[in-house]
Structure 1
Amino acid sequence: MDYHVRDLALAPEGRKKIEWVAREMPVVSAIGEEWKKTRPLEGLKVAACLHVTSETAVLMLALKKGGAQIRLCASNPLSTQDEVAASLVSDFEIPVFAIRGEDRDTYYRHIEEVVSFSPQITMDDGADLVSYLHKEGGPLLEGVWGGTEETTTGVIRLRSLARSGKLAYPIIAVNDADTKHLFDNRYGTGQSTIEGILRATHVLLAGKRFVVVGYGWCGRGIAMRARGMGAQVAVVEVDPIRALEAFMDGNLVMSMDEAAEWGEVLVTATGNVSVIRREHFLKMRDGAILSNAGHFNVEIDVEALEKLCVNKRKIRGMIDEYTLPDGKRIFLLGEGRLVNLSCAEGHPPEVMDLSFANQALSVLYLKKNASTLPKDVFKVPEEIDRQVALMKLGHLGVKVETMTERQKQYLSSWEEGT
């Protein structure tokens, strides 16, 4: 079996991590156990480019129980848990190509390895795998039936590809499922981003001036959790409706120029490029802490910071200290990459249970329906979204109300009024 991981001797530690998070992922685990009996994915080849974490491992095991042949690589150079990668290879015979800290060339070589076995379905987080296939073209691309995309940034890229008329196969935007973005993006990113900042810095957030750049579902979650820790929160937004929402939620709202001067801890969560730039670095206070919660390391202009500084040193774990010409110091966490994965362990398994249940069921949906779908980006089918929510509620011991026939009739009619 082909694979490229750091050290197979790490497998025992990785297996224990997988067992630990599987306890908190009952929906994906239940899907896997059902599929073990029915084998609905028998022989299906799936190429996955995801964060190689213990939560992802639970999804991979469910797909394998369903009969799928899988290859997995990392969707971010700093998100791989080497012990989990080793366990997937050693204990479960799933080919993994991922090493924490891998350079750019290795990262893309791993994507090449993952697609080299002619997959029929792709699973992506950020759209690097899909983008690679479309740039290469040829028989590998032609053999793909459909794919799934996990995150906001990837969906943005894929919708752009679809608008250009160049998308070669249908993609299900798992990120757009209600049981994904309302929970994973808000509660998952909110908690794990704060955890990453605290693990890296060990600072007290209570009383800190905390800036969130971007008020999508991820930004909402980060702001909510920072306020819960006692921080003073300001939001930077380009969308007037989101800015108004942020204000009504109890946050300060200001421009990036104002926030650069005001903030002590700053987090980007926009999915866009260079939202914190050279002119902002120059305005920052001594000791400002910068981090990024967006998928790619482009939101903070690290290249401009490198050129601007007169000295750079590794000051603590995943913290780089940049000294500016006037003596001010700026601290960058996790090289500007996803702070929740570069400095912590990513989202809690409870929310990934929802996201990865959508992934698993969307793969099965594509196996059955990809040939009839146009080459476009789609939401997760509503029946899957609702099924995931009901399964999660069932495992939580929560019951939902059922409408009476009279209530159904009332909502489906137009005759009754005042």
Structure 2
Amino acid sequence: MSPQTSDADLAVRGAARIDWIRSRMTLLAGVRARFADEQPFAGHRIGMSLHLEPKTAVLLETLQAGGAEVVATGNHGSTQDDIVAHLRGQGMTVHGTRADTLEQHHANVAAVDAARPSILLDNGADLAALAAARVDAAAVAAGDPTGGTGIIGGTEETTSGGMRLRTELAGRLPFPLIVINDSLLKAIGENKHSVGQSVVESIMRITNLRIAGRRFLVAGYGWCGRGIAQYLRAMGGKVAVAEIDDLKAFEAAWDGYRVGSIVDLAGWAEVVITATGHPDVVTAEVVDALADGTVLANAGHFPWEIDVPGLYALAIGRTTLDEAIERVDLPGGRHVVLLAEGRMMNLAGREPKGNSIEAMDLGFLLQALSLERVARDPASLVAGAQPVPDAIEREIARGMLAAMGAHR
């Protein structure tokens, strides 16, 4: 925020941007009206850690309309200050700014946890990890389904967060967490088609480079990787895929992509995009194989898929070329170009847009209805990570088909 921009001015700008987004999120509008009548979240404080941008603001309005008290923070590097200012003006407690350091971001997440929410809306399982540290084994043994935390359950947005819930946090949470990214509806609509589209758009927006004829290496052929590869090829890109899972690699080969190991393909690529959810995908060994001038971009939630500390340790010089573009000079006269410091780049740079409005209308409707299930009937769900209930998915699929005019 510039010294000349007041919080009030930011809030006005944020409200105007949200008005456009809200007008196109028709699925969420219907459930917001129902929530306003039924108040499913009355008496609940929802603690959120999720990208703070206009589409998320519409989700938070929907939850607030349903009676929720909202305490929220964004993810590191993706917070939009005008949206924060607007939400604060709507009576929500919102922590964070776009300029926050990683340390401050962690403090923001801790502040949400310290507010002692009864329901979580998590992205990357950061809030779940803090809650796990507060679980009282004696309370669990005594039959308290919240484990002394006061949390009755919640949702997790991402693949990365789902992995943490099923590995690092497995068996440590006595309450249910619905993993939205387990939804086939979200996988197809948001991850494949919307992430695929937004990643390609973001590369063009941040770098102003052409897609047609350029050589791209996509690391990971899950739903997001499938979409990124598809949209790159649709715009004329030459696409290769690096995938360690045999069946996904087989699928990528049959879909017509060049397939191999990331080290073997690194020297061929002009742009490398990570979309795996796992740490240390682009390592020093991969960097050694890269051609001069290769662009490195990450589409995953956590800034760990590109080993940025390791890359910087190899560097003999670094230069910021533009917002979200950094030149990293390497020994031997080579350089690479790193986008958004290895953070999720489709919400980085100037005027970030992220996923399409319609896809987030779908994804956030999954969030809203899953949170409603948690609020109304947590006992119907099992403890720990689990998929979106099938009935919710099918209800939304029917609504989305009707909205698209796809009559059956």
Instruction: Give the TM-score normalised by the residue count of structure 1.
Output: 0.91
Asked if 2 retains the 8 angstrom alpha-carbon contact of 1:119 and 1:140, the reply is no
Letter of the aligned partner of 2:266 in structure 1? Answer: A
Deviation digits for residues 252-307 of structure 1 (CA, Å, limit 9, x no counterpart): 00111121111001100011111111121122111100000011011111111111
Letter of the aligned partner of 2:167 in structure 1? Answer: S
Aligned 1:274-353 pairs, distance under 5 A: 274-343=280-349, 344-353=352-361
Deviation digits for residues 163-185 of structure 1 (CA, Å, limit 9, x no counterpart): 4x212311111111122111111
Which stretch has the larger CA shift, 118-127 or 39-48?
39-48
Tell me, in whole angstroms, the C-alpha distance in 2 between the residues paired with 1:78 and 1:71.
Answer: 19
Q: Name the counterpart of 1:206.
A: 212
Deviation digits for residues 91-118 of structure 1 (CA, Å, limit 9, x no counterpart): x211111211311221122112222332
Q: Name the counterpart of 2:157.
A: 150
Which stretch has the larger CA shift, 127-136 or 251-260?
127-136
Aligned 1:99-110 pairs, distance under 5 A: 99-110=97-108
Asked if 1 retains the 8 angstrom alpha-carbon contact of 2:40 and 2:376, the reply is no
Tell me, in whole angstroms, the C-alpha distance in 2 between the residues paired with 1:256 and 1:177.
Answer: 28
Letter of the aligned partner of 2:159 in structure 1? Answer: T
Deviation digits for residues 72-104 of structure 1 (CA, Å, limit 9, x no counterpart): 111x211111111111112x2111112113112
SS in 2 for 1:51: coil
Shift of 1:7: 3.6
Shift of 1:373: 3.2
Q: Name the counterpart of 1:248.
A: 254
Deviation digits for residues 195-232 of structure 1 (CA, Å, limit 9, x no counterpart): 11111110111101100000000000000000011010
Tell me, in whole angstroms, the C-alpha distance in 1 between the residues paired with 2:79 and 2:314.
Answer: 31
Shift of 1:317: 1.6
Shift of 1:394: 2.2
Tell me, in whole angstroms, the C-alpha distance in 1 between the residues paired with 2:385 and 2:135.
Answer: 19
Which structure's CA Rg is the greater one?
A: 1
Asked if 2 retains the 8 angstrom alpha-carbon contact of 1:162 and 1:375, the reply is no
Letter of the aligned partner of 1:28 in structure 2? Answer: L
- 1:111 counterpart (105, 109, 112): 109
Aligned-residue CA RMSD (Å): 1.7
Q: Does 2:351 match 1:382?
A: no
Deviation digits for residues 301-339 of structure 1 (CA, Å, limit 9, x no counterpart): 111111111110101221010111111110000000001
Aligned 1:72-111 pairs, distance under 5 A: 72-74=72-74, 76-90=75-89, 92-111=90-109
Tell me, in whole angstroms, the C-alpha distance in 1 between the residues paired with 2:272 and 2:169.
Answer: 33
Asked if 1 retains the 8 angstrom alpha-carbon contact of 2:131 and 2:149, the reply is no
Q: Name the counterpart of 1:42.
A: 42
Q: Name the counterpart of 2:143.
A: none
Tell me, in whole angstroms, the C-alpha distance in 1 between the residues paired with 2:301 and 2:150.
Answer: 28
Tell me, in whole angstroms, the C-alpha distance in 2 between the residues paired with 1:39 and 1:376.
Answer: 26
Shift of 1:45: 1.3
| C-alpha spacing 1:129/1:16, structure 2 compared with 1 (3 Å) | same
| C-alpha spacing 1:111/1:140, structure 2 compared with 1 (3 Å) | farther
Asked if 2 retains the 8 angstrom alpha-carbon contact of 1:295 and 1:337, the reply is yes
Tell me, in whole angstroms, the C-alpha distance in 1 between the residues paired with 2:16 and 2:78.
Answer: 18
Tell me, in whole angstroms, the C-alpha distance in 1 between the residues paired with 2:59 and 2:125.
Answer: 18
Shift of 1:43: 1.8
Letter of the aligned partner of 1:32 in structure 2? Answer: R
Aligned 1:157-176 pairs, distance under 5 A: 157-161=164-168, 163=170, 165-176=171-182
Unaligned regions of 5+ residues in structure 2, if any? Answer: 1-5, 137-145
Asked if 1 retains the 8 angstrom alpha-carbon contact of 2:153 and 2:374, the reply is yes
- 1:362 counterpart (363, 370, 385): 370
Asked if 1 retains the 8 angstrom alpha-carbon contact of 2:132 and 2:169, the reply is no
Unaligned regions of 5+ residues in structure 1, if any? Answer: 1-5, 401-418
Deviation digits for residues 330-378 of structure 1 (CA, Å, limit 9, x no counterpart): 0000000001012332111110111100110011101122134331211
Letter of the aligned partner of 2:9 in structure 1? Answer: A
Tell me, in whole angstroms, the C-alpha distance in 1 between the residues paired with 2:367 and 2:159.
Answer: 14
Q: Name the counterpart of 1:406.
A: none
Instruction: Give the TM-score normalised by the residue count of structure 2.
Output: 0.93
Tell me, in whole angstroms, the C-alpha distance in 1 between the residues paired with 2:118 and 2:377.
Answer: 13
Asked if 2 retains the 8 angstrom alpha-carbon contact of 1:145 and 1:371, the reply is no
Shift of 1:161: 4.3
| C-alpha spacing 1:275/1:141, structure 2 compared with 1 (3 Å) | farther
| C-alpha spacing 1:182/1:336, structure 2 compared with 1 (3 Å) | same
Letter of the aligned partner of 2:331 in structure 1? Answer: P
Asked if 1 retains the 8 angstrom alpha-carbon contact of 2:135 and 2:173, the reply is no
Q: Does 2:188 match 1:182?
A: yes
Asked if 2 retains the 8 angstrom alpha-carbon contact of 1:161 and 1:167, the reply is no
Shift of 1:244: 0.8
Deviation digits for residues 20-75 of structure 1 (CA, Å, limit 9, x no counterpart): 1112211111110121122222122111111101000010001111111111111x
